[in-house]
Amino acid sequence: MADTENTDPAGEKPAAVPSQAPAPKPPAKTPAAVAAAKVEKAPPPPPGPPDQAAPADVSVPDYIQALQAALPGAVTQVSYWVGDWTVIVATPRLLDVAHDLRDAAGAKFDYCSDVTAVDWPTRAGERFDVVYCLYSTSLRHRLRVKTRVADGDSVTSVSGVWAAANWLEREVWDMFGIRFAGHPDLRRILMPDEWQGHPQRKDYPLEGPGELILESPQEWLKLRQSFNEAEIE
């Protein structure tokens, strides 16, 4: 890996040594040790997003005020940053909020642009942010809805509200391991079905697991083949 070579100070020394004599290599580091060394060097990530409050001279749009009036207590926080409005919603109320945002006269968020998640492993309590990017094709405004969820907990699926969320939620499940309750077809989408782990989590190594394939290829093959046969039947 180019990265580890560049950051490894021992990697630059062999250039001065005559090319015939191979320089003594430092003891091989395990990927975990390299990762740990990197983490020590880099400043620790913050435990969560800043979710800046709106400045005093920016007024909260009507559709957020209407949402707060229609569903008191559902919106726990309103945030504004570089022109984007975000509402942070209590997870149990998510479906109500989604229905209200889609159907309310002043909101009409009929288009779900994107569903994604952000992993904040050091945050106390809820580890993940699930982010919904909404757009209204008739009123032409945008809103982001965010909800926080702990590892192992599930979020209510909004694929019944916006059909577009179907695959997007599948991807969030695949990449983060967040379950969506009530999703019609919650399978992995980008990774193979027998994949272990969820790659976009911060504690998932960049170079992949690699262990099962390298250590016991037979077992890995067996796992794969058993899966393929089940699929054909």
**Residues at the contact surface with another protein, assessed by CB under 8 A:** 3, 42-43, 45-46, 49-50, 52, 81-84, 86, 110-114, 116, 118-119, 131, 133, 137, 140, 142, 144, 162-168, 175, 188-192, 199-200, 204, 206
Shorter beta-carbon distance to another protein: residue 94 or 143: 143
- Rounded distance, CA 147 to CA 150, Å? 10
Nearer to another protein, 196 or 216 (CB): 196
Contact between 75 and 55 under an 8 Å Cβ cutoff? The reply is no
CB of 203 to another protein, least distance (A): 12
The letter for the amino acid at 106 is G
Q: Quick one: 52 or 225, whose CB is closer to another protein?
A: 52
Q: Identify which of residues 104 and 131 has a Cβ nearer to another protein in the complex.
A: 131
Q: Two tokens at 164? A: 């577009």
Q: How far is the CB of 175 from another protein (least distance, A)?
A: 8
Q: Are 156 and 93 in contact (CB under 8 A)?
A: no
- Please, what is the minimum distance in Å from the beta carbon of residue 69 to another protein? 26
In the bound state with another protein, the residue whose beta carbon lies nearer, of 37 and 189, is 189
Q: What six digits make up the tokens of 136?
A: 């209204």
> Based on CB atoms, which residue is closest to another protein, 2 or 15?
2
Q: How far is the CB of 81 from another protein (least distance, A)?
A: 4
CB of 14 to another protein, least distance (A): 25
Closest CA to 44 of 122, 119, 148: 122
Please report how close the Cβ of residue 33 comes to another protein at its closest, in angstroms.
17
What are 155's two structure tokens? 């979020």
